[in-house]
Structure 1
Amino acid sequence: MGNFFKNHFKLFSAIVAVLLFIQIPVTYAASLSELKSKQQQVEQQKKAINSQINQKTNAIKTNESKQQQLLAQIDQLVNQISKTNQEIKQVEKEIAQTNEEITALEEKIAALQKKIDERNALLEERARALQANGSVSFLDVLLGANSFVDFIDRFSAVNTLIEADRQIIREQKEDQRVLEEQKVELENTKQKLVEKQNKLKELKANLDAQKQEKNRLIDELEKEQEKLLSEKKLLEKQYSEYLEISKDLQEQIAELQRQQLSKAQSAGNLPVSNSGFMKPTNGVLTSGYGWRNLGYGPEFHYGIDLANSVGTPIVASADGVVTYASSLSTYGNVIMITHNLNGQIYTTVYAHLSAFNVGVGDVVKQGQQIGEMGMTGRVTGPHLHFEVHIGTWQGQTAGVQNPLRYISL
């Protein structure tokens, strides 16, 4: 009976041990799967918000283009207004000159009128003298000559008087005609200039009205621009809040990663190397380690970017164990490899991948292909984002190093 209980107790213990052995990875797998599911939901939300941000950005650019067009029209109107003002000044100058001409003409008219008045007075005086002396004809004057010489003198005098009277009358008529024509001409010229000035003033008023209308449109566009910018900032704030949520999930994933590393160490799967790190891909350095500004505000860049075409092979920078291979926030598809270099633990991060060639728990050799370059996550073009951390990965900032201290380009 004792052996029976002993045998059954051993069997029960074995079953419990097996169940515990099976339960641990199952729980780990379930937790990792749950976190990945949450991460995917967050990524979908972020993509939706990022799409809205891009739409707002495009709307802002369109609005800015409209502003530039209107500003160009405003510039044209301002130039036209300036030209109109110059024309108005020219017309006003012409009017002033015409007024001076009118003044000079009026002075001439006054002088001519004085001469005419003096002639009229002379003729009236002669007429009164003739009337006082009775009706004496020029023939009587000629016939009253005492001699032929006296006759000639009297004839010459009579002709002179007659011609003088005729000349006075002609001069009076000519002067009067000229003066009347000049008065009419100058009055017409003055009227035309006044009409032109009024027309130019009206044109200037129209241009000013158009300018005010354009300014009103600019004000509306600026208000719309401010609204769009405000909405974009709000979306970017929401995007940042999702990044914070993603950071929380990253910490949970990092904890699972540490558990995976502990498992690898316990199983003796973490290789020890002393060969250092190598460049993880063929690509051009497009963004270094440190602060940078991509147009939506300054941010700290925790690694380096090596750009090349989609599908370019990505290799392990050193011997190690894959402790993460999945999507992760703005990094898109990510592989993390934990290394033991001369007793120091390091973790390298490979982000924005288009494909995986390894999975969690795989032991990799330096130079072994682990994935392919892509454009997943927040990117502006195909490239590899590469990070080096001292210790296990516990988020972006923990133990982060400038990769250029460890690899050569």
Structure 2
Amino acid sequence: MATALTITLALSGLSAALPQTASAENLDDQLNNVKEKQSSNEKELQKKESELADVKAEQEDVQAEIEKLNKEVAETDEKISAKEQEIKDTNAEIDQLKEEIKALEERIAERDKLLKDRVRSMQQNGGGTVDYMEVLLGATDFSDLVERVLALNTIADQDKKILEEHKADKEAVEEKKAQVEDKLASLEENKAELENLKQELDAKKAQKDKLMKSLEEEEGELHNHMMDLNETAEILSAQESAVKQEIKRAEEAARKAEEERKAAAAKAAKEKAEAEAAAAAKAKKEAASSSSNSSSSSSSNSAPAPAPEPAPTPAPAPSSSASFIKPAAGPITSGLGQRWGTFHAGIDIAQGGNNPVSAAADGTVLRSYHSDSYGNVVFITHSINGQMYTTVYAHMKNRAVSTGQTVSQGTYLGTMGNSGHSTGQHLHFEIHKGSWNSSKSNAVNPMNYIR
């Protein structure tokens, strides 16, 4: 019995050790593959460096044109504001002229009434004319004569003044009406110029939008995450270190799992042996107590009771990294594949508010940093069942983990944000089967892996 137990334990230990060895060899192969890709990537980067330089020069030209348009748009905005002020001032002047015309017309109407009253009085008193000789000859003395002459002169001066003022007011009304007509014509002209300026502004904005779209397409569109050569080299360099660290973590996890499996197997074997010993003792006791019975009965009763079924060896608890979890809450707004003429290497998850981002599986933080394109981004290396994976979490508002840190599935990495080349709050999430590379040839559809 002891020999059988030993053989059983040895075989179970061997069967558990084989996958671990194979897994370690697989991880070593993948590490070598990372080094080969790093070397290959260096050659590819050197080859494309001149192409990227040309694209950058074109982008600078486009950016300069955009800045020029921005300046022209600002100047046009100022012209529009000035023209709108001119229109406002002209309207105010027209209103003032209308008030002045109204006052003049009221004065003219009052003077017309006064003149009509005088004419009516003169007609009633002498046929409408003044007999100056009769007035003068009617004087009683020289003093009365002087007073009469002065009175006649005063009446004549007043009549003359009234007539002159009346004439001047009428001329002023006509002049101001002409001014109103000129102002109205100027107003219509200013409004036409304003409309032209607005059309010019719209055209410049449309041209700017077209250039911006061209710039985005030339960069491979914002979500394509074109990276600086140095940034890519740093990621690849950090990746080699992260893979080594992840191999150690995976081996340590496998070692602990093996220890737990052996402990569980030893416990099950001990329980089985104790159960068999108890069954044998019970059978022996029952055989002794039933010796007075018939031989057939004794024979049947003295047979040891069948040993209970041994407790099954518990299977190791599944690793939390057995699959990937969705790293953030929210709907998938964009999937993996061609988009706007470029390859979108992951999925976009969008949701407002303070939305936490979590590690999709156990692993080692390859790199945590701020990128011009990715914004706040975290790369994580994972070893799952002997297969290496790399996940990317981009555009976060902040980062809560650091390079080289070991994380568990569900570890808080940061908060969903809008950093880097991003057009709105979302998480850009990538899964690469194997190591990450700048061409993203290892990118797989996360929807096939997350649960």
Radius of gyration: which is bigger? 1
